Amino acid sequence: MTEEMVAVFAGSSIRLAAPLLLAASGELVSERAGVLNMSVEGMMLLGAFAGAAGAWATGSPLLGLAIGVLAVLPLAALQAYLSITLRANQIVTGIGLNILVLGATTLAYRLLFGGRSRVEIPGLGPWAPPGLAQLPLLGEQVFRQTWLLYLGLVLVGLIAWALRHTAWGLALHAAGTAPRAADQSGLPVRRLRYGAVMVTGVMSALAGCFLSIGDIHTFTEGMTKGVGYLAIAAVIFGNWKLGRTLAACLLFGAATALQFQLPALGVDVPSALLIMLPYLLAMLAVAGLAGRQRAPAALSVPYHR
């Protein structure tokens, strides 16, 4: 493998890991609060469609990004209402919302764009931190990415700081570990959980917009193709810690990048095997083969006062 191909592989891995990291960091907040948000896939898909449709209608990718985020907030609020207020099964409601969004976005896409197989969408432009794009070999391939990636890294850094160093982070941990004790100490457990699910909605919407208007500049039916489920698996793989979740997202991104890299190197590997590789790694993570896992004690358990 030449040095140039290594640079291309590294840049592709980071680009493919970016939507995973955005969605996984939001899901981590939700799970830390005790809510297993299985509707991340649907939130991403709705954000991707609304962002693409907004950018197409207004001609502005920035307005499309804002529309994509706003469109997901009602879905996140519905997920929170079902999971927290009605205390419905979090896995069933999440998967149900995913199916609902898949059908709704498919119908809306066909109504809006007709039978066109591909619609060009105004996309977010690339950007590189000053000086880094001029680095030899890696500079152009690794650091020249859509600026949404760098915004996402800033938001992930803020989430990491808030979870570790703020009273909100400690309260969130208490809500997901010992909600009854947290409630008796005066913490608003339900409000904390609602807020955590809304954070997941915003980060998942950004992840969906990254796919449609930040990366490929178009929308296709069901374009997330299980990325939301990979984000949930990354949280489990990361043992509910943000640093390890980041590493898991990079691993899944690299596994996806191999789909394009190995054929270019002339390595004869069945394409179906390459496509399934990220999901195989995710299955191994969920099965506990990535090490001992310690989930929040009250994860997916509805809280009764």
Select from 145, 207, 197 the least CA-distant residue to 176.
197
Q: Is 243 helix (H, G, I), strand (E, B) or coil?
A: helix
Contact (Cβ atoms closer than 8 angstroms) between residue 94 and residue 88 = no
Is 136 inside any structural domain? yes
Is 293 inside any structural domain? no
**Strand pairing class (145-146; 126-127):** antiparallel
Is 178 inside any structural domain? yes
pLDDT in tens, 24-33: 999 999 999 9
Contact (Cβ atoms closer than 8 angstroms) between residue 22 and residue 44 = no
Residue 58 burial (CB < 10 Å; 0-12/13-18/19+)?
Answer: middle
CATH number of residue 119's parent domain: 1.10.3470
Is 303 inside any structural domain? no
Select from 168, 162, 242, 159 the least CA-distant residue to 203.
159
pLDDT (0 to 100) of residue 120: 82
d(C-alpha 267, C-alpha 224), whole Å:
27
Name every residue whose Cβ is closer than 8 Å to that of residue 82 and which is 6 or more positions away in sequence.
88, 93
d(C-alpha 205, C-alpha 203), whole Å:
5
Name every residue whose Cβ is closer than 8 Å to that of residue 287 and which is 6 or more positions away in sequence.
none
Query: What percent of the chain is predicted at pLDDT more than 90?
Result: 59
pLDDT (0 to 100) of residue 203: 97
Is 242 inside any structural domain? yes
What single letter denotes the amino acid at residue 298? A
Q: What are phi and psi for residue 91, nearest 5 degrees?
A: -70, -45
Taking CA atoms, 43 is separated from 39, 82, 247, in Å, by 6, 15, 23
Is 187 inside any structural domain? yes
Contact (Cβ atoms closer than 8 angstroms) between residue 27 and residue 230 = no
Contact (Cβ atoms closer than 8 angstroms) between residue 209 and residue 47 = yes
Tally of domains within the chain: 1
pLDDT in tens, 142-196: 888 889 999 999 999 999 999 999 999 999 999 999 999 999 999 999 999 999 9
Q: Is 176 helix (H, G, I), strand (E, B) or coil?
A: helix
DSSP tag of 211: I
Which residue range forms the structural domain that includes residue 124? Answer: 3-286
Name every residue whose Cβ is closer than 8 Å to that of residue 81 and which is 6 or more positions away in sequence.
none
Is 120 inside any structural domain? yes
pLDDT (0 to 100) of residue 18: 93
Select from 126, 157, 151 the least CA-distant residue to 140.
126
Contact (Cβ atoms closer than 8 angstroms) between residue 228 and residue 43 = yes
Contact (Cβ atoms closer than 8 angstroms) between residue 233 and residue 282 = yes
Within 10 angstroms of residue 70's Cβ, the number of other Cβ atoms is 15
The low-confidence residues of the chain, meaning pLDDT below 70, are: 1, 115-117, 133, 263-267, 271, 286, 288-292
Q: For the chain, first and last CA: distance in Å?
A: 60
Conformation bin of residue 145: beta by default, left when phi > 0, alpha when psi is -120 to 50: beta
Is 184 inside any structural domain? yes
pLDDT (0 to 100) of residue 290: 59
